[in-house]
Structure 1
Amino acid sequence: MKGIFSFFEIYFFQRWVMRCLVSLLCGLLYANGASAQKQSDIEQMAIDGYALRFADTTASVRTQNQALLLAQQKNSPADEAICYAYLAMTNRRLLHLKEFTDYAERSFEIAGRINNRRATAYANWAMGLQRSYIDDKAGAIEYMLKAYNLFTTLDEYAYCAKIGADVSYLFSPSSNANVHKYADEALRFAEKSADSESILHARLAVGSYLLDSAATGNPAQWQKAVSFFKETIWQAEQVESAIVSKSNIGIAHINLAVLYMNGPKPIDESAFLANLEKATQIGMHYNLRNIYRSSLGLRGQFFFQKGNFRTAESLFKEGIAYQQTMPYKDNDLLATFFGCLKELAAAEKDYVSYHEYDTYFNKYNKLKYDEATQKIMQNADARFESEKKQALIEQLEKENSLEKKNKFLGYGISSVLLIGLVFMYRSYYYRQRYYQNREDILQQQQTNSELKVQLMEKESLEALAEKLSLERRLLQSQMDPHFIFNLLGNIQSMILQNDRVTSVSYLGKFAKLTRQVLEQSRMEHILLEEEIRTLKNYIDLQQLRLNASFDYNIHVDETISTDISIPPLLLQPFVENAIEHGLKPLAEIRRGLLEIQFHLDTAHDILECTITDNGIGLEESKGNKVNVSHNSLSTGITNERLALMYPNNPFVRLEVRDREEGFGCVVYLAIPII
């Protein structure tokens, strides 16, 4: 009994001493942390350098590096983390992904070692922007919200406004409620800060969702959006000299011009042109290429719609010439301008020019596609490396945390030994056993962390390979070579018969279908109305190919909103099967009929699509096929896609069967609403 009582005496005495020491140290740390939350001269120097990023990039980077060197000389890790964050944001504007990522991670790593909310807020802001740059929306939102909450506790309303606006954009279009929430909060914070730059940034975020509301065709929403942008422009012009991001003023003018162009007819042409002229002046004066090009494109579209082809052609060509003087080529923009010239040539029936523009359009469209593919791979690599580094950082943080706990424990035990030498022997015995246990735990955690990093690397590569393989097979399954060859043969026949108007029309439909398939195959989701337009274009070309041997209709329930999003190119393979293997073999038996119906299951948030034909049916179709893998290919790919996108949704379903009444086949597909 005596030995037991001695043990408990030691244990409770140690706990009391430890609580005293921890309370004292925490108090000191809190006092030091609280005194270092205000803006320093070094941070202001970094802010001044960052403000030069539009006017003089070289001076901007030089000033920020000087601030970083000063922070290192003064041994101020908080200011060092802040300087790295500003350098990261500057390299983001310069499109230097490697430097952007390195600086953001350095800022985050330094901020993680110190108790400074301001540095941590900046570090999370930089990491959020980096994740947004590599298309990791979930990670970007997580980091940005941490920064947003930290700056809120520091009463830094200007930063809260900027970050809140960016968070609003990140939630679009997946969550309209959060888009409105953070944009409105950003505007309230901006008005509290009285910072002109932040107010304009926040108002553009609010204007973005007002612009979307105006697109629904509601006159009241349109008028509200117009009034809001007029007020935004008026406020910005009053304090134009205080606004660093002049491009935001140009964007406000362009958005207002878009509202006039898409508003009630006839449009207010003078207001439309005046806003574009103002945007053009801003773009030329401050060398803002995106503003200048956007204003040229909008004016060209306006004059094209009015039938003033020469002015529209001149503006499109001016945009192309301007872009080609740049040190880099924006292939997406060049493809867009040449596409507009193609439409203009088709409207004038200038087939020679149409062929010339089409050649350039295809060239730059291919380059755009290659760049997009390369960027996807680059972003995937960047995400993997970032996640790997983050795992290593977390492992080091655990090790540092354990090291600090061991230090506190050592101080406590030393105090106990100094106060009571009588308990030295027993205290030494239990301390040694505790250290051994902690060492075993640390080694086990380190081993688990290394295995976790290896598993993450393997799973990331396998997931990426699986996704790329599925995208390749999806693209291959969209365009049947027989369909392409027969269609081009029919168009060639029309041209030989001098039916140029019809042949150009179908050639344009074929080009548009090809572009839609290529573009949509790289998207995660598209609007339902875009999918329906693609299907109509495809079926029209099939009717041309099969000499109009069948009819079709597409019915959408009135309760369904066309802005519902679904996975792209999900229905086209089944429509192709219905036409190729069901309706085409009918010959002289009867006239074919293809029906596509969309129904909304509100109880389970499911969009139901039914594709019905009066063809020869599944059994007879299988008997006629030489190669029966085509149908199973489209069904298999669709099943794989649905399994990847909705792994835990019990209502996802794909069913292919013969009709119970009459002839033909029925395809039923249940898709969760996004």
Structure 2
Amino acid sequence: MQLLALDLAKKKKNIDDEVICYSYLALTQRRLLHLKEFTRYADTAYILAQKSNKIRVKAFASLAMGALKSYIDDKPQALDNLLKAYELFTSINAHDQCAKIASDISYLFSPSSPEKVKKYAKEALYHAAKAGDPESQLYARLAFGGYLTDQLDSGHNENWSVAVNFFKETIALAEKNTSKIVSKSNIGIAYVNLADLYSKGPKPIDEKALLTNLEKATAIAKKYNIKIIYRSAIGLQGMYYTEKGNYAKAELLFIEGIKYQLSLPYTDNYLLATFYSCLKEVSIKRKDYHAYYAYDTLYTKYNQLKYNESTQKLLQNADARYESSKKMERIKQLELENELEQKNKLLGYGIAGVLLIGLVFMFRSYYYRQRYYLNREEVLKQEQANSDLKVQLMEKETMENLAARLSLERRLLRSQMDPHFIFNALGNIQSMILQKDTIPAVSYLNKFAKLTRQILEQSRKETISLEEEIGTLKNYIELQQLRLNNNFDYAIVCDETVEEDVLIPPLLIQPFIENAVEHGLKPKPKEEKGLLEIYFSQQTDLKNLICTIKDNGIGLNASHKLKANENHQSLSTTITDERLNKMQKEYPNAGFQVLERSLESNETGCIVIINIPIV
């Protein structure tokens, strides 16, 4: 139907209708997860909208472009375009569109800016009330409910009953108007969110309400084939029964979810990996290691497929962002060319007028005026040539920056997992299994798998919380203890000024821990017990987190002597130095220094002080 509408608009040569048709087609392709068609329609709408002066037309084009930027994880550009669309739709009182766009904007600001999340969620409720249709009201209420849930996650538990009552009212609205709500997934989300609130509520929880809402969510997911709702509903039920100690029921739920997924004509590797991961946890709690091995084999298979799909998607999004940025530059160039064309057109009219006056009055006047306009045209041509050169330079710089960033990310990922560390850790685990130490072996194997997953996931993030960073460091250090036969102890201490939910760049500290263990503690005599100490303090006014790493190893001078005949250079430390240097443009205090411990006391070892920017 949308393509038929587009054909009619083209036959009538109505650019305004064409833009709106392309925008709707782009949003439809987003629902179908067709990135190539989504990009083509959104770009076409945005380019054609430059030829229109209609507010509604420009608003739809900005909405389509904002949706595209959000889909390919270009959050700054997504916010710019959606805010522009929101402003345009607000000016023409299109309250139904404003309600949905304001909701999407609030999601984009979460969790970094709670005040803006609240602001746009409230505005979404206002526009939904003005629009009056249940679809917009449910969309807006889910956004505001998300804000209330974020508040609970931030420690405001006194608002739990407020959030529960709000979602009860939301579900009542959805159930009353089910036939009028097109996006059935939003109804399922409301059920899942309410059930999740009950699971986080005061103990003992309302089990009946929890399970009732999850059953309703599962029914909607099966009826309309909504994968994310089904996964969330089954997962919450399984976790509930796991925490309750009913492992048999939890296992049956996860197996049922797997059977249902395998019965569908497509394979959702993410969902299957999630269910098998949950089954592994249940097997551990039941101490059924035979089942754990079987589930772990299948989990490894689907997790690898999921990772391959995720990597492919990241690469596609990176390509899409790059192509989109090139097209935006081309649009700007076309706008400049149109402006120059208009100027040249006006210039032509002026020349014609001057020629007419010159023919009437005198040849001399015509001659000098003609020379003046010819010179002016040369200047404009030179300006246009300069503009073309600037565009080419910008494209080259963009490509170089993107290539450098991707290269640094790949090098960072490779540097976090030392092959010797991997082989030694797995060898020790294998030795424990052969010695029939099954429980410690499984525990350390879990730590190793968790560390690998954490490093892979965190290397793709711009920021992580300090709590996540500390969790990763603990896993890494405990595996190093296993590898070195527990010949050193460690301690991680946070100053009372430190907030564990602060956001920092990922994987900055681990390379220094690796150096402390490998070059400081490992060469230490076996009869001397090693100690690794990590302290965190915070300078809130400077947006700076200070990490101090101390070890009682052999020290810098002794370490340099041991490495005198080696040509090895620490790749991970070099990459970390590059990352901190790049951060110094925005955070001047970013950096690190390495000191010999004997300079301040009679103890041997090293001290590393890292200034990490709080993002």
CA distance in 1, matches of 2:576, 2:371: 59
Q: Say which SS state the counterpart of residue 200 (structure 1) adopts.
A: helix
1:427, CA displacement in angstroms?
A: 7.1
The letter for the 1-side match of 2:176 is Q
The letter for the 1-side match of 2:604 is F
1:412, CA displacement in angstroms?
A: 6.2
1:627, CA displacement in angstroms?
A: 6.5
Q: 1:627 to 1:107 in 2, by over 3 A?
A: farther
Q: Say which SS state the counterpart of residue 416 (structure 2) adopts.
A: coil
What CA deviation, in whole Å up to 9, does each residue of 1:317-369 have, x standing for no partner? Answer: 22222222333332222211111111112222222221222122222222222
1:84, CA displacement in angstroms?
A: 0.7
Residue 139 of structure 1 aligns with which residue? Answer: 77
Residue 262 of structure 2 aligns with which residue? Answer: 324
Q: 1:325 to 1:444 in 2, by over 3 A?
A: farther
CA distance in 1, matches of 2:188, 2:584: 41
CA distance in 1, matches of 2:78, 2:365: 49
Q: How many residues align?
A: 612
When structure 1 is superposed on structure 2, of 407-416 and 562-571 the one drifting more is: 407-416
Matched, 1:666 2:607: yes
1:170, CA displacement in angstroms?
A: 1.6
Residue 655 of structure 1 aligns with which residue? Answer: 593
Residue 23 of structure 1 aligns with which residue? Answer: none
CA distance in 1, matches of 2:584, 2:66: 26
Residue 450 of structure 2 aligns with which residue? Answer: 512
Of 196, 200, 210, 1:262 maps to 200
Of 309, 319, 323, 1:385 maps to 323
> What is the correspondence of 1:262-661 to structure 2 with a 5 Å cutoff?
262-411=200-349, 422=360, 428-429=366-367, 432-433=370-371, 435-588=373-526, 590-625=528-563, 632-659=570-597, 660-661=600-601
CA contact under 8 A between 2:533 and 2:551: conserved in structure 1?
yes
The letter for the 2-side match of 1:394 is K
Q: 1:195 to 1:643 in 2, by over 3 A?
A: farther
Q: Say which SS state the counterpart of residue 574 (structure 2) adopts.
A: helix
RMSD: 2.3
Q: 1:183 to 1:434 in 2, by over 3 A?
A: farther
CA distance in 1, matches of 2:82, 2:328: 16
Residue 33 of structure 2 aligns with which residue? Answer: 95
CA contact under 8 A between 2:333 and 2:391: conserved in structure 1?
no
The letter for the 1-side match of 2:55 is R
Q: 1:233 to 1:432 in 2, by over 3 A?
A: farther
What CA deviation, in whole Å up to 9, does each residue of 1:265-317 have, x standing for no partner? Answer: 22211111111011112222223232122211211111122121222112112
Residue 10 of structure 2 aligns with which residue? Answer: 72
CA contact under 8 A between 2:536 and 2:545: conserved in structure 1?
yes
TM-score (structure 1 length as normaliser): 0.86
The letter for the 1-side match of 2:218 is T
1:422, CA displacement in angstroms?
A: 4.9
The letter for the 1-side match of 2:79 is I
CA distance in 1, matches of 2:204, 2:94: 46
Q: 1:628 to 1:224 in 2, by over 3 A?
A: farther
The letter for the 2-side match of 1:367 is L
What CA deviation, in whole Å up to 9, does each residue of 1:585-629 have, x standing for no partner? Answer: 222453211111110112211111111111111111121236756
CA distance in 1, matches of 2:369, 2:283: 87
Q: Say which SS state the counterpart of residue 585 (structure 1) adopts.
A: coil
The letter for the 2-side match of 1:312 is A
CA distance in 2, matches of 1:430, 1:132: 57
1:541, CA displacement in angstroms?
A: 1.8
CA contact under 8 A between 1:417 and 1:424: conserved in structure 2?
no
The letter for the 2-side match of 1:448 is N
1:424, CA displacement in angstroms?
A: 7.3
CA contact under 8 A between 1:399 and 1:442: conserved in structure 2?
no
Residue 24 of structure 1 aligns with which residue? Answer: none
Q: Say which SS state the counterpart of residue 608 (structure 2) adopts.
A: strand
1:408, CA displacement in angstroms?
A: 4.1
Residue 236 of structure 1 aligns with which residue? Answer: 174
CA distance in 1, matches of 2:311, 2:324: 20
Q: Say which SS state the counterpart of residue 314 (structure 1) adopts.
A: helix
Q: 1:574 to 1:630 in 2, by over 3 A?
A: farther
CA distance in 1, matches of 2:309, 2:12: 44
CA contact under 8 A between 1:384 and 1:457: conserved in structure 2?
no
Of 94, 111, 131, 1:156 maps to 94
Residue 16 of structure 1 aligns with which residue? Answer: none
The letter for the 1-side match of 2:544 is I
Gaps of 5+ in 2: none
Provide the identity percentage. 61
Q: Say which SS state the counterpart of residue 386 (structure 1) adopts.
A: helix
1:118, CA displacement in angstroms?
A: 0.9
Q: Say which SS state the counterpart of residue 593 (structure 1) adopts.
A: strand
Q: 1:410 to 1:214 in 2, by over 3 A?
A: same
CA distance in 1, matches of 2:476, 2:432: 19
1:417, CA displacement in angstroms?
A: 7.8
TM-score (structure 2 length as normaliser): 0.94
Q: 1:196 to 1:409 in 2, by over 3 A?
A: farther
When structure 1 is superposed on structure 2, of 226-235 and 143-152 the one drifting more is: 226-235
The letter for the 2-side match of 1:671 is I
Max Rg structure: 1
Residue 47 of structure 2 aligns with which residue? Answer: 109
1:438, CA displacement in angstroms?
A: 4.6
The letter for the 2-side match of 1:668 is I
Q: 1:428 to 1:285 in 2, by over 3 A?
A: farther
Q: 1:570 to 1:75 in 2, by over 3 A?
A: same
The letter for the 1-side match of 2:93 is D
Q: 1:439 to 1:388 in 2, by over 3 A?
A: farther
1:542, CA displacement in angstroms?
A: 1.8
Q: 1:425 to 1:107 in 2, by over 3 A?
A: farther
1:76, CA displacement in angstroms?
A: 1.8
What CA deviation, in whole Å up to 9, does each residue of 1:184-212 have, x standing for no partner? Answer: 22222221222221221111111112111
CA distance in 2, matches of 1:302, 1:546: 39
1:225, CA displacement in angstroms?
A: 1.7
Q: 1:436 to 1:578 in 2, by over 3 A?
A: same
When structure 1 is superposed on structure 2, of 622-631 and 184-193 the one drifting more is: 622-631
Q: Say which SS state the counterpart of residue 586 (structure 1) adopts.
A: coil
Q: 1:669 to 1:191 in 2, by over 3 A?
A: same
CA distance in 2, matches of 1:101, 1:565: 32
CA distance in 1, matches of 2:209, 2:123: 31
1:162, CA displacement in angstroms?
A: 1.0
Matched, 1:227 2:159: no
Q: 1:420 to 1:189 in 2, by over 3 A?
A: farther
